[in-house]
A and B are shown apart, each in its own frame.
Chain A
Amino acid sequence: MSTSSSTLAPTTNSVELEQPRSGTWDGGNEPFKASYGKLMMWFFLLSDAFTFAAFLTTYGMIRHRNPVYVGDVKDFEFSTAYWPIPEKVFNAFPGFHGVDLPLAFVALMTMILIFSSVTMVLAVEAGHRMDKNDVQKWLLWTILFGATFLSSQAWEWSHFIGGHEEGTLMSDGTMFHGANLAMNQYGPVLFGDLFFFITGFHGTHVFSGVCLLVWAFIATTNGTFEKRGHYEMVEKIGLYWHFVDLVWVFVFTFFYLV
């Protein structure tokens, strides 16, 4: 009798089990004091940084493998014999046909992206204050700037593909305008290819970012984050968005300036 009752009776040990366990291996830990989602976003971005670094390193390697244009910048002409000077390739602006405006359009694109980064931080900041209206407002601005950047890139691409009017005399004696993956009027074949791959891969990232932002805007409007009690999702998308801006800073320097 006494044995059975002692087995059924709660032991002191089981009382302890009722309390939440908070040891190292009991779960609920946050390494680096960052939430699971944020930490994983950071490491995803690290892996993405490797991909972009591989692209830009390839650009550096190929560029150094090709001869440099020697001579006066004024007399520069497109040729497959040497690497082109970026400001001679990217000198067009929508609505200013035939006017030489070196790097003006890419400057505008850079400003749009920096501005979208600012509106994104403002959305994250509003999220910390649980200010639904402000989050909506700043997310909308970010979506607007992101979409503007994508349209600008579409114009840039179509101009690059369509080409300058004068064209370039190719080695087989024909005039070639614009660019495709096999040949281009600006310089060595790989110049065109790297342009398409690097700016294209970046543009794809911007596009994914805009999709995520649209989704976050809908979720904010529906009050999903308000009910959840925090706007961490906006923060995580913000990390991604700033990374895209960060990559553009590097693309801008290495592709357009150097």
Chain B
Amino acid sequence: MAHHVEVQHNEIREIPKPNTGWIWKTFWVLVGITAVEFVIAFTMPSSTLRNSIYIVLTIFKAFFIVAEFMHLKHETKGLIWSILIPVALLIWLLVALVTEGSYAGELLQHTFSS
């Protein structure tokens, strides 16, 4: 019986109006960055500069998804750092192994060309 009363009470309760402005703002930022990436893909020849621009834009997109959609910006400092520090170490992994790959590639080409 008590349960039934509670349900009725819930139905009477007013539902607040949605507050979705920030969500759509973030959406347009993400769409905008993706559009810029496509414009670059078809107007700029492939180069280190182009790849650097892509990586910067990707990090921008990642920031908006993690900070706004995943709400990390509004969590405590401790949580933010315990996620960001381990992820930052991955940058080192990427740089180290890409360098290693380039070196191995060069070595292979020189071995077979001479």
Residues of chain A having any CB pair with chain B under 8 Å: 31-34, 39, 42, 46, 49-50, 53-54, 56-58, 60-67, 73, 85, 87, 102-103, 107, 110-111, 114-115, 117-118, 120-122, 125-126, 129-131, 134, 226, 238-239, 242-243, 245-246, 249-250, 253, 257-258
Contact = CB atoms under 8 A, between A and B. Distances in A.
Contact of B18 (A65, A107, A126): A126
B23 interface: yes
Contacts of B38: 103, 107
Interface residues of B, number: 51
A257 B26 CA distance: 22
Contacts of A242: 65-66, 69-70
Interface in B46-64: 46, 51, 54-55, 57-58, 61-62
A111 B94 contact: no
Contacts of B2: none
Contact of B90 (A31, A50, A87): A50
B111 interface: no
Contact of B31 (A31, A114, A239, A245): A114
A21 B19 CA distance: 38
A61 B58 contact: no
Contact of A65 (B10, B26, B94, B108): B108
Interface string B86-107: 1100100110011011101100
